[in-house]
């Protein structure tokens, strides 16, 4: 179990799913200053209330953000720094799912909607998080010192394809690529950028009946050695390790957490 993380966290998509689970896992690991960001302000308030019950000594800053709007993302990072002085651990989790139409049937509007949130939104978050981390000194001295660490949410569908999911697969493949480039661009700066590629996880995104049926099919034993979908807290535990100094030699990579789905 990771412990002793005493820096400042920033989580987008924090009102539900993997984002909310990661916020809780960061608090479990010792973080006590946390900016929670989401497009849904009502759900964000509910998330803070739930977290505050378990972690009454933690400080929370809430920020309603549309990650496709550059000025809002810039303001989000600025708010975290104004409140807490720095940012040390960032999870870029805001995203949407999409599937159901072949490439030829997918409208440009639907394609751009998914790509703008998943791909462009992640880019904008990276851009301003990295700029802030580059301005600050490492939190701790020593060989494992880091100015900051970032994890982007990719997907196993950023490493493979899925019929009728062109915009989603494209956006997640892009996140894998931009993660590598960001790690290279900040070589020697003591800033790490990684991605995680979850498999089929039980969240609100996979709850609609047509998606739930796909999850059931994709997590059968003949397709997935774990023989079940994952839980958000299982992904969160991996993310927190990747953000911590215990993962100090992990950089520019995408870790799968898929129950063995990609073994087939």
Answer yes or no: 128 catalytic.
no
- Read off the pTM: 0.96
pLDDT of 217 reads 86
For 29-74, what is each residue's pLDDT tens digit? 999 999 999 999 999 999 999 999 999 999 999 999 999 999 999 9
Each domain of the chain, given as residue ranges in start order, spans: 8-257
Which band of pLDDT confidence, cut at 50, 70 and 90, is reported for residue 210? confident
Among 89, 128, 168, 186, the one annotated catalytic: 168
pLDDT at 214 over 90: no
Q: Report the side by side order of strands in the sheet with 148-153.
A: 59-64, 33-38, 8-12, 89-92, 148-153, 191-198, 254-257
**Structure-token pair, residue 219:** 């997590």
Task: Residues 8-257: name the CATH superfamily.
Answer: NAD(P)-binding Rossmann-like Domain (3.40.50.720)
For 110-162, what is each residue's pLDDT tens digit? 999 999 999 999 999 999 999 999 999 999 889 899 999 999 999 999 999 99
pLDDT of 215 reads 84
- 40 and 255 in contact (C-beta within 8 Å)? no
- 254 and 194 in contact (C-beta within 8 Å)? yes
Place of tokens 């909607």: 113
pLDDT of 244 reads 98
Share of the chain above pLDDT 70, in %: 100
**Structure-token pair, residue 253:** 């990579």
**Structure-token pair, residue 116:** 């703008």
> d(Cα 49, Cα 11) in Å, to the nearest integer?
16
Residues across the chain: 264
Among 89, 111, 128, 172, the one annotated catalytic: 172
Mean pLDDT value of segment 214-222: 89
Mean pLDDT value of segment 81-88: 99
Answer yes or no: 89 catalytic.
no
């Amino acid at each position: 179990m990771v412990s002793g993380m005493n820096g400042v966290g920033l989580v987008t998509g924090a009102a539900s799913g993997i984002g909310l689970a990661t916020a809780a896992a960061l608090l479990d690991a010792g973080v006590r200053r946390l900016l929670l960001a989401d497009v849904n302000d009502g759900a964000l308030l509910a998330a803070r209330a739930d977290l505050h019950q378990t972690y009454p000594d933690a400080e929370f800053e809430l920020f309603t953000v549309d990650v496709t709007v550059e000025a809002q993302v810039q303001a989000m990072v600025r708010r975290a720094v104004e409140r807490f002085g720095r940012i040390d651990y960032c999870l870029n989790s805001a995203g949407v799912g999409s599937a159901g139409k072949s490439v030829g049937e997918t409208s440009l509007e639907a394609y751009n909607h998914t790509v703008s949130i998943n791909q462009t939104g992640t880019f904008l978050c990276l851009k301003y998080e990295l700029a802030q981390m580059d301005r600050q000194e490492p939190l701790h001295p020593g060989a494992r010192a880091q100015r900051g660490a970032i994890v982007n949410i990719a997907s196993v569908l950023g490493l493979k394809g899925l019929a009728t999911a062109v915009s989603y697969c494209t956006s997640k493949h892009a996140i894998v690529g931009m993660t590598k480039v960001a790690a290279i661009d900040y070589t020697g700066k003591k800033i790490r950028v990684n991605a995680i590629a979850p498999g089929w996880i039980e969240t609100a995104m996979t709850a609609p009946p047509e998606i739930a049926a796909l999850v059931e099919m994709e997590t059968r034993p003949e397709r997935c050695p774990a023989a079940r979908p994952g839980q958000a807290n299982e992904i969160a535990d991996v993310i927190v390790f990747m953000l911590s100094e215990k993962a100090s030699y992990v950089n520019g990579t995408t870790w799968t957490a898929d129950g063995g789905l990609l073994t087939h």
